[in-house]
Amino acid sequence: MTDECQHGLQHHHHHHHHVGLAEGISPSYVKKLQWVMVLAIIYLVLQTMGSYYSGSLALMADAGHKLADIGAIGLALFASWFSHLSSSPRKSFGFYRLEILAALLNGLGLMAIACMILWEALSRSTHPPEIVGGTMLWVSIAGLCINILSAKLLYPDRELNLNVKGALFHIASDVVNSLGEIVAALGVIYFHFTWLDTIISMVIALLVFYNASRVFLEALNILMEASPRHLSIAKIQNFMMEQPGVLDVHDLHVWTITTGKEALLAHVKVTADHFAYASAHELEKALRETFDLCHITVQLEPPGFEEDAIPF
C-alpha cells in the first residue's frame, strides 16, 4: 500500500483514510506512452502510404485502428496530466476520474471504427480489388516489429492504469493484425488469393471491437460505482464481522476512484467498550492491509443506535 493517505476523525467516529490525490505521483508509464505514440505515428504514415500503393483493405483498416490508438494514447496522456492537479472543495477526489472518462471515450471511438471497418470489408467482399502483395508484405513486417516493441514498452505497467491497459489491448490486437496481414500478403503473392485481404480486414474489425468493448465496460463499471471485480463485498463484510467488538455491518459500499484506488464506506455497530477512536483506527488498519483499500470511511455505532437516514 502506498503512503498517499492521511488519518482523520469526524463526528460519530467517522474514520477516514484520505487519498493524496496530487502528491507524490510520477507515473513511469507517461514517458513510455509518449514513445509508443511516436512509434504509432510513424507506422500510421507507413500504413497509409502502403495501403494507397498496394490497394490493401487490411492495411487501410489497420491504419484506422492505428489512428484510434494514437487518439487513445493522446487521451491517456492528457488525462494523466490532469490527474496531477490538486483536489478542491468542489472536486474532493481531484481529477482522477478524467482517466476513466478518457478510457470510456477510447472504447466508444474504437467500437465505432470497428463497425466502419467491418462495413467496408463487407461491401468489398463481392469485388476484391487488385492488390500489390509485395508492398503489403513489407509494410506488414515493419508494423509487426513496431507493435512488438510498443507492447514490450507498456506490458510491465499494464495494471497501473486503465488507459495503459487499453493501449496495450490495442497494440496486442495490432500484433495479431500484422500477422494476419503477412499471411494475406503471402497468399496474394503466391496464390493470388486477394479475398484473404478482405477476410483479414473483417477479423481485424472483430478484434478491435472486442478489445474496445472490454475497456469500455470496465470504464463504465467504474463510473457507475460498481464494486471492483477483484474485491468481494461478502468477503469484506465477513472479515469486518470477525473483528473484535463488531456486532453488525451495514450500508457497506466499495467502489473504484480510479484504477488501483479503491474506497470503502460502512456503518459498523460495535459494543459499548469498542465505541472509541482506537477501535475505528484498528478496523481501518485491518481493512487497509487486508484488501489494499486507499480511502476508508467507517462510522461506528453503539448498541441501540438508530439512524434516521435512509440507507442506499
Q: DSSP readout, 58-84?
A: HHHHHHHHHHHHHHHHHHHHHHHHHTT
Residues of the chain with pLDDT > 90, as a percent, come to 29
pLDDT of residue 82: 65
Q: Which CATH architecture has domain 29-223?
A: Up-down Bundle (1.20)
227-301 to CATH, choices 3.50.50.60, 3.30.70.100, 3.40.630.10, 3.30.70.1350: 3.30.70.1350
Give the confidence band of 21 by pLDDT, cuts at 50, 70, 90: very low
For residue 169, give the C-alpha cell: 489491448
Name the DSSP letter for residue 24: S
Q: Which among 167, 185, 177, 183 has a CA at the least distance from the CA of 202?
A: 177
Mean pLDDT of the chain: 80
Of the listed ranges 157-171, 255-269, 272-286, the one predicted with least confidence: 157-171
CA 37, CA 39: separation in Å to the nearest integer? 5
Q: Which residues contact 255 (CB under 8 A, 6 or more apart)?
A: 222, 225, 226, 227, 228, 262, 263
pLDDT of residue 6: 37
> What is the mean predicted confidence (pLDDT) over 205-227?
87
Can you point out the beta strands (E) in the chain?
5-10, 14-19, 246-258, 261-270, 295-301
Q: Which residues contact 104 (CB under 8 A, 6 or more apart)?
A: 216, 219, 220, 223
pLDDT of residue 2: 42
CA separation, residue 102 to residues 13, 74, 113, 170, 281 (Å): 37, 9, 16, 15, 36
> What is the mean predicted confidence (pLDDT) over 181-209?
88
Give the confidence band of 233 by pLDDT, cuts at 50, 70, 90: very high
Greater pLDDT, 80 or 22: 80
Decide if pLDDT at 176 tops 70.
yes
CA 99, CA 218: separation in Å to the nearest integer? 12
pLDDT of residue 209: 87
> What is the mean predicted confidence (pLDDT) over 190-199?
88
Greater pLDDT, 20 or 173: 173
CB 251 within 8 A of CB 143: no
pLDDT of residue 25: 36
Greater pLDDT, 167 or 232: 232
Domain segments of the chain: what residues? 29-223, 227-301
CB 218 within 8 A of CB 162: yes
- pLDDT for 134-150, tens place per residue? 999 999 999 999 999 99
At 134, which amino acid appears? G
pLDDT of residue 26: 41
CB 284 within 8 A of CB 254: no
pLDDT of residue 85: 67
Give the confidence band of 39 by pLDDT, cuts at 50, 70, 90: very high
Greater pLDDT, 78 or 153: 153
> What is the mean predicted confidence (pLDDT) over 260-284?
89
Greater pLDDT, 126 or 82: 126
> What is the mean predicted confidence (pLDDT) over 249-253?
92
Backbone angles phi, psi at 193, to 5 degrees: -85, 75
Question: pTM of the prediction?
Answer: 0.71
Q: Which residues contact 246 (CB under 8 A, 6 or more apart)?
A: 240, 268, 269, 270, 274, 283
